[in-house]
Every structure is written in structure tokens, then in C-alpha cells.
Chains A and B, each alone.
Chain A
Amino acid sequence: MASGIDRRLIYHFDWTLFALAIAIASIGVVSVLSATWTGLHHTVSPLVYHQIMWIGIGIALMAGAVLLDYRALGTYAYPLYGIAVALLGIVAVAGHSTGGSRRWINLGVLKLEPSELAKLALLIVIVRYLREEPPSGGFRLRHMIIPALLLVVPVGLVLRQPDLGTALVLMLIGATLIFVGGLNWRTMAIIGLAAALVAPVGWHYLKPYQRQRLVSFLDPHSDPLGSGYHIIQSEIAIGAGGDFGKGFLQGTQARLNFLPEQTTDFIFAVFAEEFGFTGSMILLGLYAAVIARGIWVARHARDRFGALLAIGITAIVFWQVAINIGMATGMLPVVGIPLPLVSYGGSSLIAMMAAIGILISVNTRRYLF
């Protein structure tokens, strides 16, 4: 059956999604190039080549994901989850720390960021849990115990890094899936209330700099050279772009090192400064297209598992885009979240491309049952 499957796979391959993903990834390469075009020496940074390499690997993974039957993920959900958690545990103990946080495992030739993997693994494992239809009236509190446990472990480990952003994204992915999966409305309300009550306690556990970040989110100018600095500089860079941007490689804020984390967290500002409102809208449009496509796939998926998978993947893309751009434009506190397919970083890029591959797979295989 191999050849038969192959041909139909190819025939129904979701070229749109593929093209969208490649387009966004290309913008990523361009942005990383700009972001590393610093100082007076104009040479292409090795980071750019890394990015291209990972895109290549990602494409390969994408092809692999399409060939794979996504339902196999259901089988391997828990093992995958276990591996991710184990990796997170290793990071917590023996991770490479920079700038006050431990996020990577240094494997010599490459740096692995397990949090990115964890997002995908968590998504899969929750979808696996939810793959049965909900009981009448929807999932109740008692049904939420297992998802809660599944969430708490990675979230807890991630918070220890400390990585507020990834923890937030993990929780949002979980919440989205549970909501779409059939959570009872009343239960939803109860959980919401509980979260609100727990928040002050959470505040107590926040590290000082994280608290400062929340405070300066509300008023960045209260500490313009300290915690408010990132937000202010990012807003300036984005705003300086104007209608059509300063032009490729002409952005001054990044080139002169005024933007912090310009290859990762604030890469959107680099792009926005150089390509202006026009560029921003185009990029936002591309993401919107991917998300819309993801929703469409979910609605037309063959089975519930696929649908939820599609929703989960859409959620990963959507929440990260919203939070990252929201942060760069000063609407949200600064949390370290990569911009999917654009930010520099192998783990994120590969995980995202694999995720898109799964999405393509779900879409492609709806003809195959």
C-alpha cells in the first residue's frame, strides 16, 4: 500500500500551509540577518546560516510528519511526554544558564531548548487524554485532575528555570484544548474563579525581576533604563518604522544594539522597523492565514483526535504570536516567548515546523479513511 498512500499523500498535500510556513520562515531568516547586521562590520552572521539549516531540518521533519499517520501520536503520547519532562528535569539540574535562567542543555554541537519540545509534547498528551468524547454535560472537575497533573509537572519545571512565558503558553494551550474538548461551563467558571483567587499567592512566588516586569508593563517609563527599557526601545523601533519601514538592513535601533534580545524575543521589532506598517500587516496576515487554515483543518478533520490536534497546533501558533507581538508593542509584560518560525532558535523552529507538519498530515489524511 506504500505507493498508493504516497501518491495520495502527495496529491492531497496541503501546499498552502507548506507555502505559508516557508514564507514566514523566510521572513525569519531576513529578520535574523537584519538583527545580526550590527556595528560597522558588515558580514553575514553565522546565526543566519544556523537558521537556514534548521529550516532545512524542519522541512525534512515536516515531510516525515506527513508520511506518518498522526494517530500514531496517540500511541506514543505518554512516552513523548515523559521524554519531554525528563529533558526539562535535566535542564533544571544541569542546564546551561544564561542571564539568570536555565533553559538549555548544551549538547556540544547544538543547544537544545526542551521547553519548545515540551509545548508540543504537552499538546499531544492532552489531546490524547481528550480523544474520547466528553461525558454528558461535558468534562467536570474530577475529569480535570489528570490534565492538571499533566500540566503542573512541566509548568512547574519550566517555572523553575525560570521561564514565565513558556509556563503561560503551556497553560494557555492546555486551557484552549480543554475548552474546545468539552469542558463543562460551570466547571470552567469554577476553575476561572480559583485561578483568580490563587493569583495573589502566585505573585508571592514570583521572583523580584518578574514582578518588576509586571509593574513596568503597566508603566514602562517608571524605570526607563531598567525593566521598562525593553518595552520602550521595542515600541520606539516599531514606531520608527512608519508606513513602509526604514528599509532592509536600514533599521537603526537593532543595528546599534538599542534593542535587547533582538534575534529572539524582540525580533518582531527588528522586522517592523525595517518594513513598517505594511510589513507588519503582511506578516500578521500570513500568521492569520496559518491560523485560519488550522481552524479549517480542525473543522474538517476526519476524527476528533485530528481535530483536537489541529486546534492544539493552531493554539501554539496563535498564542505565541499574540503574546510575542503583544509584548513587543507594549501591550503585555515582557516574557520570553519566541515568534514562531521567525525568532532565532533551533528548538523552536524545528518544533514549529514539526507541528505544521502534523497539521498538514491531519489535513492530508482526511481523504484517507
Chain B
Amino acid sequence: MKFGSIRRNSSTPRIEPRIAILSGLIAVIMMVVGVRLYQLQVVQHQQLAELADRNRIRINRLPALRGLVFDSHNRPLVDTVPSYDAVMVPEDATDLSGTIKRLEKLLGQPGVAARLQDADDDDRPAYEPVTVAEHLTWPQVVALETHQLDLPGVSLQVTPRRHYLYGSMAAHLLGYVGEVNEKELAHLNGYSMGDEIGKFGVERGWENFLRGNSGGQEIEVDSVGRRLRLLREIPERPGNSVQLTIDLDLQQTVESALGDVTGAMVAIDPNTGYVLAMASHPAFDPNVFTGGVTPAQWHTLMTDPGHPLENRVIQGIYAPGSTFKVVDSIAGLMERTLTPDTTYNCPGGLWYGNREYRCWRKQGHGTLSLHRAIVESCDVYFYQVGAKLGVDRIAHWANILGLGAPTGIALAHEKTGVIPSSEWKRRRYHERWYPAETLSVAIGQGYVSVTPMQMAVMTAMVANGGTHYQPQFVREVDGLDGQPVRTYPPIIEGQAQIDPNVLSIVRDAMCDVVNGPGGTAHKAALPNITVCGKTGTAQVVAEKQGDRTKENALPEDERDNGWFIAFAPKDHPQIAIAAIFEHSGHGGTFAAPAVHDVLQKFFAEHPPPGTPAIAPPPSLLPPENNPQTPAEEQAQAGDQQQAIDQEQAADQAQAAEQDQTGDAGAPAAQTDDSDADTGETTADADPNADVDASAPTTESDSDADMGAPADSRPSPDDSRPSNF
């Protein structure tokens, strides 16, 4: 170093080396800093960048609009209506207490302050809106909207709400929705707390189709949670709509025919298995469940002695009573223990074993053959038929006719009923079958139990020649553009090998039950249509079949429930019905007339070809007999206009070839009077028109077979975009 001339001691510490040491220390520390920066910015970059995003990005879910449910004529049965809630961001309210007071006054209800307090107690993050009032009435909505300026921080939030247009009509079939619970959250993908999920009926079975995909928004927030801007948005996709096989008008007729009586009625198309109407009474109003059912309401529903939540069509098990004689007849004829000419004498009772089994007619029927025995429903005749057959052969044919097994309808909790056999009894009670018990079975009492659905299917089989169609109530699922995403053609469960002559014999007899002398169901007769059926009267069978006293046959007029099964017309039947009226006595008294009303309505709209008083083409029918949606009428009017024009053109041209005349006008218009079975949709009446139509989606058929019974839930479709 070039410092002055001070002579230095050699042991004086020199500055130069110390500077060197300092430099070294500095270099080391700078390198450590550099390495640390490398570690943060290169090595840990990914992870720290993620944390940065988590800081500032909030996800806002956009729930999807649930799909609608239509009847076979595309009339809406279930839709979604907006529900208005009042929400408030207290941080944005400049005069909080004043705003609360004004809000409570406008709403006409207190509790706003309490709701805000609750939210704060629950550690509400800053700037997060609090719901202060729900399901506002329209006047409340208007009041809030017009006083916006006086209510800073308050806004309206619209949430979609499920709406069942016809209240309790077809409630058990349509089902209801509710908030997803813990179990469902654990087992199913794509649901978050607070989501709506179908709990029952179509809402549940077709949940995956109806649900749609929720979308979402990525919103950037600052460190106090204030929302700054939208970063990314995935639009939601509304659910598909479901078209049922149910005819709204027929359903309403069925429900009013049931009236106040506890019971059930179901009508199916014997050629396809499609359910035309299904009603169980007492029922409930599914609208109660939307927006959350209160514990009090739920309690009322659960403890109501009428069990309104039970769908008696598939869950009600009853002794079939005399309707079971149809089974006996077929069994006997097929097993050749019986012929149309076999006669037995009925003096009013039969001694078997060591006791008398009585006929409902105390004075007896005298000597009769099969036809009259069915028509007049003689018990004694069938005691004999049954005794000769034995319970196992009866069971065999009962099973062939679909009894004792689930029908396969896609509704949960279907019961199978009981068709007893000697093996069944040994398994169940560890006892042998006593022949006397067969007598009870023969007249549809004792251990025998069936559901109305099974009876309808059996009636359909008798009507159509032995084909067992699986009952279905969904015709197709449509996408947003109205195009079908999934269709449900008829499913044949089995074909019973029954001699057509045998069926013909039974059918003839059933027709005379309604139309012939001595028949027990005259009240079901229609003037122009040959209605065929069978009455039955029986006691309600308790759930626990262990009550052995039921095996004793009781005279018909002492029993409780009235059955009536029917199909019409006799040739080329179009409808099969099973109806049970609890506690109303004889089947012919109440059940039959109810069915009559239903059939009358049905045939007014679906006149069978070739019947004498054929209804004129629907275009000329007065509107009340042929209700259509305005759009259908429009289309029809257009077609009519077209027809008229063409007719005039044809007249002027005088060309015989131009068949596009008045006749053509009729078929074109007739498409609107659609055959319920084919379920044609009218494109104009597309109720989805106001829903945001995104690109059509094609769903692959990966949903589990809808025929799967009971509680199996169809698995989610993997080809759909994942829920946000």
C-alpha cells in the first residue's frame, strides 16, 4: 500500500489482508443470496406460483338449469322457475343500520340484522354476500328493484327453483328434488354442498340427464377479498329434458277418478309397455320439497297414516281377490285340468277337509261352466279348479304371467309380492303345503299378494297374446335443440307360451264380465267400445306375511279392497288398466266406474280404427275435445291453410293427380293429434327455446340399463365434460 511514511511495526495489523478477508465474506454471502434466489425462483417456482394464484383467485360456481319434464305430447309437467333472494354485502352499505331498517320495511319482514349477525359469527370472509331473505314474492322483488338507490349493498340473486306445474299430479312418478346429503356427496362425483339432486321418481332416475353441467368463473380478488375482474368463465350447460309416456289429460282423468279414495290406478299400452297414466292416492305436492322441506312438513308427511309418500302402484301389495281367477283359468286350461265345458255345481259353499268354504253368493250359482264362472265370479267353481291344479301349477302360471316378480319398471322400492308354492312355504315357514290352503289361493286370498303394476302387466299380457313388455314411463331424453339424446323403445321381458285359444276363451269371458248378463262390472261398459275386465275384492295384506290367519278364505262381501282390471277394445287392445280402491268394498262398485271414466276419456282422444262412431278427424273437432298447445294449434292452422290453398289450386287446375288436397290436409294436421305411443314431438312447441342453446351433445349410452330395479343409480356418463 502506498500510504505515508509511517514506519510500521510488522505486527501491526495490515489493512490489505483484512480487506481480502472482508471481500471473501462478502463473496460468500452474495453467493448464498444468489443460491437462495435460484431456489425460490427456479426450483420452487411452480409451487410458489400456485400459491400466488390461490391467493388471488376465487372460484364462483354457476349452477346449471335443470332439464324439464314433459308428457307424451310435449306439455311441460315440471319446469324451473326463478326464485329471488335478497343478498347484502354489508361492507358496501354506506349507512348499514339505515339500510337494514329500510330493507326490512320494504320486505315487510324482520330478521335482516339477525341474518347478518349470524353470518359474521360464522366468520364470513370480507365482501362475501349474505343472503338476508329468500323466496321473495313478486311485490317484494318489485319493491327492492324500485328502491335500489336507497339500498346500497343490497341486490337480488336469482336461483332456479323446481316447479311442479300440476301440484300433486303424478307426484310419485315425477318425484322431487332436494339438497344433496352427506351420503350422496360421498358416493357421487361432481356434486358440491348445496347442490340440488333428484331424490325420488323421474327426478332421481334420470338425474344424470336432467342435471346438466355447472359452469364456473375464475374471479380475481385482492388481499381483502374484493372482487376485481373475471379471469375465465366456463358457461354452464343446462340439463336435458325428459319426455314421459304419460298423457297429461289421461293422468288428470285418472287422478280425478281416484278422487278421495285411498288406492291406485295405472294404465299401460299393451302393445309397448308404455305407462299412459299412473296415480297413487293419497299423494303429496312435490313443490313442498323445493326450497327445502321444513322438519314440520316432513314429519307430517312421514306420520300421515295414509302414507302419501308411498307409491301404491308399485309398493302397495294387496291380495288380488277374484282377479286371480284369470290366472286359475289360464293355468287350468293350459294344464288341461280344465276345459271350457267343465262344469261344477255351486250351492253356495264347498265342503273341503273338515270345513265349509263359502261362495260370495250365499244361494250359490248352480251348475256352471268356465265362462259363466268367470263372468259371475263364482268362488266355489274356482275352489275346485284350484284344488285340481294344486298350488304349484297355479304358481307356475302366475309366474309366467309376471306375478311374484318385479315388473322391472325404473322406479325405486318396487315390491314383488308373493305367489306361494309348496317350496316357498317350506322355505319360509318350514312347513309343508296343506291342500286346503290352495282354495284360498285360487280365489286370490291367503298368501297371495300382488301390486297394481303387476296386475296391469298381466292384463296387458292377456290382451296382447302373452307378451310381457317391461313397463316404461320415459319415452326419450332430448337435448337442448330438441333432438333426442336417448330413446327408449319397448322392451320385451318375455313371451309367455300360451295357446291363443286359451287366451281367447278367457278374453271372451272377461268381456262378458263387463258387457254380458250377470257380469260383475257393468259400470265399466262403454257404448261403442268392447271393454273387457275382471273385478276383485280382497283384504289388504299386511307387510309381514307371517299372519297366518289370512289363509282362511272369507266371503267376498266381507273383504275390504276393490279391484278392477280391464283392457279395451277387445280386438286390437290399446289400453290395459289395473285399479284398486282400498276399503271401498266390491270391485264393481267403485273401481269399475272409475275405470269407465278413464276409458271414456281415453277413447274420446284415441278412437280405435273401424269402430262404428269413429271420431271425426281432429282438425274439425271442437277444441275442447282435442286440447293442444298453442304452438300445435298454430302448426295445425298453418297446415290447414296450406291444405285449403292446395285444394283451391287443385280445383283450378282440375288435375286428378294432385292428391295434395283436403285429404292431405287431414293427415298433416293429424300429426298433431299424436298417437301417444309414438310420442312425436312438435318442433315449434320447443319449450327449450328460451334456454341458452349451446352445441348439441350426444350422450353415449353408458348409463346403466334403466331396467335395473330398486336403488341402483345409473353411473355418470364419462363422455360428458367434467363438472366445474
Q: Which residues of A contact B (CB under 8 A)?
A: 39-40, 133-138, 176, 179-184, 233, 235-243, 252-253, 256-258, 272, 276-277, 280-281, 284, 287-288, 291, 295, 298-299, 302-304, 307-308, 311, 318, 322, 325-326, 329-331
Contact = CB atoms under 8 A, between A and B. Distances in A.
SS class of chain B's interface: helix, strand, loop or mixed? helix
A239 B56 contact: no
Contacts of B34: 281, 284
Given A40-B228, A236-B48, A137 B41 contact: no
Nearest to A291: B26
B488 interface: no
A237 B45 CA distance: 10
Interface in B1-39: 1-4, 6, 8-9, 11-13, 15-16, 18-19, 21-23, 26, 29-30, 32-34, 36-38
A303 B4 contact: yes
Contacts of A287: 30
Contact of B37 (A134, A183, A277): A277
A322 B33 contact: yes
B294 interface: no
Contacts of B48: 235-236, 238-240
A180 to B, nearest CB: 5
A242 B53 CA distance: 14
B49 A242 contact: yes
Nearest to B36: A329
Interface of B: 1-4, 6, 8-9, 11-13, 15-16, 18-19, 21-23, 26, 29-30, 32-34, 36-38, 40-42, 44-45, 47-49, 51-52, 55-56, 220-224, 228-229
Contact of B36 (A302, A303, A311, A331): A331
13 contacts: A39-B222, A137-B12, A176-B22, A179-B18, A236-B52, A238-B40, A253-B55, A256-B55, A256-B221, A280-B37, A284-B33, A329-B40, A330-B40
Contacts of A307: 1, 15, 19
A182 B41 contact: no
B41 A256 contact: no
Contacts of B221: 256
Given A239-B45, A239-B48, A277-B38, A180 B220 contact: no
A181 B56 CA distance: 51
A252 B229 CA distance: 13
A288 B30 contact: yes
A182 B15 contact: yes
A133 to B, nearest CB: 6
A239 B12 contact: no
A47 B36 CA distance: 30
Nearest to A326: B33
Contacts of A133: 6, 8, 12
B42 A243 contact: yes
Contacts of B22: 176, 179-180, 295, 311
A176 B8 CA distance: 22
A319 to B, nearest CB: 9
A257 B222 contact: yes
A330 B41 CA distance: 13
Contact of B26 (A253, A318, A329): A318
B19 A134 contact: no
A302 B2 contact: yes
SS class of chain A's interface: helix, strand, loop or mixed? helix
A135 to B, nearest CB: 7
A276 B636 CA distance: 70
Given A242-B49, A256-B222, A277-B42, 7 more contacts: A133-B8, A236-B51, A238-B48, A239-B47, A258-B55, A284-B34, A311-B22
Contacts of B49: 239-240, 242
A40 B229 CA distance: 9
A252 B52 contact: yes
Contacts of B15: 180-182, 304, 307-308
B36 to A, nearest CB: 5
Contacts of B32: 331
A257 B221 CA distance: 10
A138 B6 CA distance: 15
Cβ-closest 6 pairs across A and B? A239-B48, A240-B52, A277-B41, A182-B13, A256-B222, A136-B9
B228 A256 contact: yes
A40 B227 CA distance: 11
A326 B30 CA distance: 10
A239 B40 contact: yes
Given A182-B15, A182-B18, A299-B19, A253 B33 contact: no
A295 B26 CA distance: 10
Nearest to B34: A284
A304 B15 CA distance: 9
A246 B216 CA distance: 25
Given A39-B222, A256-B221, A322-B33, A298 B19 contact: yes
A239 B13 contact: no
B284 to A, nearest CB: 49
A281 B37 contact: yes
Contact of B13 (A39, A138, A272): A138
A41 to B, nearest CB: 11
Nearest to B44: A239
A284 B30 CA distance: 8
Contacts of A137: 11-13
A226 to B, nearest CB: 14
A180 B19 contact: yes
B37 to A, nearest CB: 5
A176 B19 CA distance: 10
Contacts of B1: 299, 307
Contacts of A330: 36, 40
Nearest to A176: B22
Nearest to A260: B223
B124 to A, nearest CB: 16
A272 B41 contact: yes
Given A240-B48, A257-B222, A277-B37, A180 B56 contact: no
B29 to A, nearest CB: 5
A355 to B, nearest CB: 17
Given A40-B228, A134-B13, A239-B48, A329 B4 contact: no
A101 to B, nearest CB: 22
Contacts of B11: 136-137
A304 B37 CA distance: 36
Nearest to A239: B48
A257 B224 contact: yes
